[in-house]
Structure 1
Amino acid sequence: MVPRVVYGPGCIDQLDSILMPKRRNTEAPFIYLVDAVFEDKPLLGKLPLRFEDRLIFIDTTEEPKTEQVDRLVALLQDNFEEIPSGIIGLGGGSILDLAKAVALLMTNPGSAADYQGWDLVKRPGLYHVGIPTISGTGAEVSRTAVLMGPEKKLGLNSDHTPFDQVVLDPELTEGVPNHQWFYTGMDCYIHCVESLNGTYLNAFSQSYGEKAMELCKEVFLNGERDLASREKLMMASWHGGMSIAYSQVGVAHALSYGLSFLLGVRHGIGNCLVFRHLSDFYPEGVALFHEMCEKHKIVLPKDICSQVDDAGMQTMVKVALSLEPLWENALGADWKKQVSPELIEGLYRKI
């Protein structure tokens, strides 16, 4: 679990007092990985930059990659005599995952691709802080940093991955475009559906998943996009992330990873594109998803996979099938008897 968290409108103003005790010396900087959308924006004035601290702006039009992590680690190792005091991620799920991964690779040898899997990271990373500016991914609380690798899309899943400190300020999520707000919020909703309907479900994960589901319904069925709604969605993201951290996701995420790996589809919309076709797996959840889409006038694109050739299709199927814990959570230990490459290809052909 994340050991320290502050919450509340305006709480980013506490960042200086949070970081100061963690600064080793004036030559050991804090490195801020910031979504490039905030370049030249007022938010940057709230960051307590001191001494050798650096801002690195990250283009998030594509999913974070293992090679991107490797480049950032090399940059920090080559340009600073002192090891950084810490890594701070400011942005959405991509930035938060990138910050977690960079912190880990600063203390673990090799490439980020070497650690794609479960419990492969052996050493604690640098001190790292997450500051989400959009709600839904659960990246602020999860034990994984999801990356696109040369052979697969898979997280760095370990007990060393979670942030040491998270700053949850709902004021930072104001102004998110409507479609992005919806797709990322649906990532949270789908977390809840997959966790609450999974075979890995337990009393701990269920308690968080049920609360997150309740909040998602309030936000996407009954709420307005005001501060109260932003607070609820931020808490839904946290609780949903906790739920899957102690259980697992399922079919939608497995298929979405294949879409991202081959076609570069962003995670939030990828989940939505897949989930709408999963009524055989999650009938109640899919029905409610369509209701939410209608309420917010969301029209999802179609025929995404119409131009995928046979080789590409087999790549997507391979990526989806490689995520065995997700399928086991969804369908049980005998999932391989229920899921075939033909079934998965059939679902992709509908998208």
Structure 2
Amino acid sequence: MYRNFRMVSYVVFGRGCYNQTKDILGQQRDKEKSDMVYLVDDVFKGAEFGDSIPLQGDDMLIWVNVDDEPKTKLVDALVEQIKGAMDKNPAGIVGVGGGSAMDLSKAVSVMMTNEGSSAEYQGYDLPKNPSLYHAAIPTLSGTGAEVSRTCVLTGPEKKLGINSDYSVFDQIILDPELIRGAPDEQRFYTGMDCYIHCIESLEGTFLNEFSKSYGQKSLELCREVFLNKRTEESEDKLMMASYCGGMSIAYSQVGVCHALSYGLAYVLGTHHGIGNAIVFDYLDEFYPEGVKEFRIMLDKAGVELPRGLCANLTEEQFEKMINVSLAMELLWENALGKDWKKIMTREKAREMFERM
């Protein structure tokens, strides 16, 4: 049976479209539920953009710190904070920032209507009740979080997303002007997350024409952005590369790089974009042409990858890293086929981590 997956309901794209936020969200306000909750990356606190958030009435603005990737305990704390401050559920949740801020807003919107801890919902199609209305305003591009059905979370036992149709945003506001001020290194790492999405999707065993169409376009845009001189259109292209890259894995999957980087992140707290870049640089065996091109992009960007991350890990840390990575079975099957366990043994995974 073919999967009938949900897509983002409404998309607005273009320079300056952020100025339409008030009107767009106004359509969701009514007498019963008129308040919005904004979860905004605290890097914008006190900055001009932070002051531009279009608050109305009793809207709630919560500054979220994403120095560490989203954790289930943070999601639970935010839900408790919102419910403690409001008599009833708000009209919606709005995530403003990069992939982590967007994933937090997706998770909070789901957990506002589902009981228990978010850790109980790490997996596929576990939430029983529809989420609150939720919208995203990306200020970084590359992760594809704005279109994906997963919100990646680190829990007590694993790093795994709440992967549900209820996680998908109802509205995304894609304004290329908002990503222009991103630091160069951060822009590169989130962009490489997108590039790696495409390589893994296009070379995976789950590939189909739907995924291929989006993946090929995203890959083309990534090459224009990271192999050529930066232009006025670079942000527009990167924003659409992120959108298409996220769509490319909606009907397929990612692969070896993401599976290994999940283990790296769980044990060492490595951020998703930089973690993927670190891992991908060691994957010549699996994606030779992609890794070769990635290194050209790395050189052009003048970025030096961290080395020796796993040099002093304990046996317990290695075991946990391997366990988390090998638990990503769909990713491994997409990358290596149904017999992936014969290829990616625990010994092989250990050897790869030791090289990092």
**Common topology (TM > 0.5):** yes
> What 5-or-longer segments of structure 1 have no aligned partner?
none
1:142 to 127, 138, 148: 148
The 3-state SS of whatever aligns with 1:227 is coil
- Counterpart of 2:3 in structure 1 is none
Structure 1 position 24, deviation (Å) = 2.8
Deviation of the 1:41 alpha carbon: 1.4
Secondary structure of the residue that 2:144 maps to in structure 1? coil
Name the amino acid aligned to 1:341. R
Partner residue in 2 for 1:283: 288
Distance 2:218 2:266 in 1: 28
Match of 2:238 in 1: 233
TM-score by length of 2: 0.97
Decide which of 162, 178, 184 is 2:190's aligned counterpart.
184
Matched, 1:82 2:88: yes
2:252 aligned with 1:247: yes
Partner deviation per Cα, 1:143-196 (whole Å, 9 max, x = no partner) = 100001100100111111110000000000011111101111000000000000
* Residues 67-216 of structure 1 aligned to structure 2 (within 5 Å): 67-216=73-222
Q: After the TM superposition, which residues 25-44 of structure 1 pair with which residues of structure 2 at under 5 Å, given as runs?
A: 25=31, 28-44=34-50
1:23 aligns with 2:26: no
- CA displacement at 1:236 relative to structure 2: 0.2
Counterpart amino acid of residue 228 in structure 2: N
Q: CA deviation at 1:123?
A: 1.6
CA contact (8 A) 1:27 1:52 kept: no
**Letter in structure 2 aligned against 1:163:** F
Count of residues in correspondence between the two structures: 350
CA distance, structure 2, for counterparts of residue 158 and residue 58 of structure 1: 23
Percent identity of paired positions between Structure 1 and Structure 2: 55
Matched, 1:66 2:61: no
| Cα distance per residue 1:86-131 (max 9 Å; x no partner) | 0000000000000000000001111111110111122210000011
- Whether the 8 Å CA contact 1:28–1:82 is kept in 2: the answer is no
Aligned residue number for residue 330 of structure 1: 335
Aligned-pair CA distance for 1:239: 0.1
Inter-partner Cα distance in structure 2 for 1:8 and 1:302:
39
Q: Kindly indicate whether the alpha-carbon contact (under 8 Å) linking 1:171 and 1:227 is maintained by their aligned counterparts in 2.
A: no
CA distance in 2, matches of 1:329, 1:138: 19
Q: Which amino acid aligns with 1:8?
A: G
Give 1:77 deviation, angstroms: 1.1
2:173 aligned counterpart, secondary structure: strand
Q: Secondary structure at the match of 2:189?
A: helix
Q: Specify the code of the residue in structure 1 equivalent to 2:201.
A: S
Residue number in structure 2 paired with 1:222:
228
Matched, 1:310 2:315: yes
Shift, 1:282, TM fit: 0.5
Following the alignment from structure 2 to structure 1, what is the Cα–Cα distance between the partners of residues 289 and 53?
43
Deviation at 1:26, TM superposition (A): 7.4
Distance in 1 separating the partners of 2:137 and 2:40: 10
Distance 2:306 2:22 in 1: 43
Greater CA drift, 87-96 or 36-45: 36-45
Question: Does the residue aligned with 2:161 lie in a helix, a strand or coil?
Answer: strand
Contact 1:26-1:52 at 8 Å conserved across structures: no
Match for residue 48 of structure 1 among 49, 54, 59: 54
Q: Given residue 102 of structure 1, which amino acid in structure 2 is its aligned partner?
A: V
CA distance in 2, matches of 1:140, 1:300: 26
> Which amino acid in the other structure matches residue 183 of structure 2?
P
2: CA distance, partners of 1:102 / 1:27: 17
Q: In structure 2, how many angstroms separate the alpha carbons of the residues matched to 1:21 and 1:8?
A: 20
Could you say which residue in structure 1 is the equivalent of 2:353?
348
Q: Distance in 2 between matches of 1:26 and 1:298?
A: 51
Stretch deviating more after TM superposition (165-174 or 120-129): 120-129
Q: What is the CA deviation profile of residues 50-78 of structure 1, one whole-angstrom value per residue up to 9, with x for unaligned ones?
A: 11101100111100000100000011111
- Unaligned 5+ runs, structure 2: 1-6
Q: Distance in 1 between matches of 2:242 and 2:276?
A: 15
Q: For structure 1, which segment, 39-48 or 202-211, has the greater mean C-alpha deviation from structure 2 after superposition?
A: 39-48
Q: Distance in 1 between matches of 2:238 and 2:28?
A: 30
Give the distance between the partners of 2:81 and 2:134, measured in 1 at CA: 17
Letter in 1 for 2:233: A
SS in 1 for 2:160: strand
Q: Which residue is equivalent to 2:9?
A: 3
